[in-house]
Each structure stands twice: as structure tokens, then as C-alpha cells.
Amino acid sequence: MPIPEPRHAPPCDLAGLSVLVTRPTEQAEGLCALIEQARGRPIRFPTIEILGPTDKHAARQQLAVATRADLLVFVSANAVQYAFPLLPDRLPLDIDIAAVGKATAKALTETGLDPTLVPERMDSEGLLALPELQSVDGRSVLILRGNGGRELLADTFRHRGAEVTQIEVYRRQLPQRAAAARNLVNGWGHLVDVVIVTSNEIFDNLLTLLGDDGADHLRQTPLVVISQRMASHALTKGCKTVKVAASASDSDVLDALCELNNDVP
């Protein structure tokens, strides 16, 4: 399970602001703790469940190719959590290990796998911009990921001449939360002041769970996201006020929340 980020003194006073936190349960507590430290009120409403592979034996067999790979790419801390127990005991000494972001790198370090490639910009685009990954012609790249998701990493590495294998080591699914969603929609006016979403899938799942009436509430509620790509997606769905955090880290998301709280009358 990913370890929450170290807590620090909150940069602002949220003064009772109610914040809907939609991250998966196991990834939300660090952020919720920071919101509470800043005198905010986190409302936990996970819109994605994270599960291991359906067939662990099959996944272990697929991961055997890691012994012949030049580069392992972990797309998230979830990928580390679920892939690590299934990886071969011995990996090549000269293998490169890439983490899409700092949380993923931290999870790798905690397992004993030291990442060699970690971008400052914590997303796929940031990883692909690293100088070390501009020339991968003929290299074997293994991407460890969840079901679905973007194809940017695989497509770009293939375009650059790499041999790419993608293995799904965990599953994301829409939770069954009909009763909780109804209660949230019915009490939206006094329960939710701001919403935090950290992926387009989380946002779309939230729309699905809320239904038409709840979706209208969401569009009128200030939203904090973690990339311009997500902001564009939310705006196309009709959201009126969207704030982009500097990164997906708990501290940067809190900073964006504080700035938004100061900006909104």
C-alpha cells in the first residue's frame, strides 16, 4: 500500500471548507489529513476501486519477460504495489527502472527497487521528455500498468523504435455506491464546497455515480485537477471553475485548494 506523504504545516486556513476527495480509499488519507490540518472538512467519496490482477499466476508468467527487458516503466504506485510480488527474483543488473512520478518512485524505493529515471513533471509526458529516453531504438521496454488508460507511453516508445510489452498488473473499476451517491447528491448544497479529482477516469466515474442531477451540481462547483489536460476535459464537460495544481502530490493539491479558496468570493 502506498505510504502517505509526510505532513507539513498547512499554508492556509480553509475555515471549515468541505472538500470532496475522490481518490481511491488507499490513496486518499494523506491528502485528507492535510485538509484537516488546514481546518478543512474532507468528504471521502472514492470513485475508483483498485484491485489486483484477476489471474495472478498468468500475470506472474507474463512478468517473466522482465529478465530480458532493458527498461521497466511503472505508471503508478499501484503498479509497484501489485507488480512487485509477481516480478522475477532477479532482474538484470543494468536494467533501467522508470517511475512516472515521485509517488511511484517512493513506492519503488520502499520495495528495494531503486528508480533510475524519474521526471520532474509527474506524468507520462514528463517521463517521455527525459533525455535518456529520446533514443530507445532496439531496446526492450516493459510497461506495468492498470487496465485501460492512455496509450501515450507505448505508442511513443514504439515510434522511437523500442520493442514494447504492456502488462496489466492491477484493475480499476467503478465502485458500487448507489446509496452513498444519492445521499451525496441530496445533500450537495451543505456537504460540498470544492471537488478534487486526480484523473479523467475519476472525473468520468464521478459523473456516472452522481447521475444527471448530481452532474449539474458538479459543474457549478469549483474543481481542483492535476494537469491542464484534465482541466480541458472538465471544461468540455461543462465545469465552470477549474484550478490546476502544480502536480499530483498531496502538498501541491492542497496548495491549489488554498489558492482556489482565496480566489473564490
Q: What distance in Å separates the CA atoms of residue 133 and residue 118, rounded to the nearest whole number?
A: 11
pLDDT tens digit at each of 265 positions of the chain: 444 444 444 558 898 999 999 999 888 999 999 999 999 999 999 999 999 998 999 999 999 999 999 999 999 999 999 999 999 988 888 899 999 988 899 999 999 998 999 998 878 889 999 999 999 999 999 999 998 878 999 999 999 999 999 999 999 999 998 899 999 999 999 999 999 999 999 999 999 999 998 999 999 999 999 999 999 999 999 999 999 998 888 999 999 999 988 875 5
Highest CATH level, class, for 51-172:
alpha beta
Is pTM beyond 0.75 here?
A: yes
Nearest one of 179, 172, 167, 241 to 200, comparing CA atoms: 172
Q: How many Å is the maximal CA-CA distance in the chain?
A: 57
What is the CATH code of the structural domain delimited by 18-48+177-263? 3.40.50.10090
Give every CB contact of residue 203 below 8 A, 6+ residues apart in sequence: 22, 197, 225, 230, 233, 234, 237
Q: Which three cell numbers stand for residue 168?
A: 496489466
Ranges of CATH 3.40.50.10090 domains, the chain: 18-48+177-263, 51-172
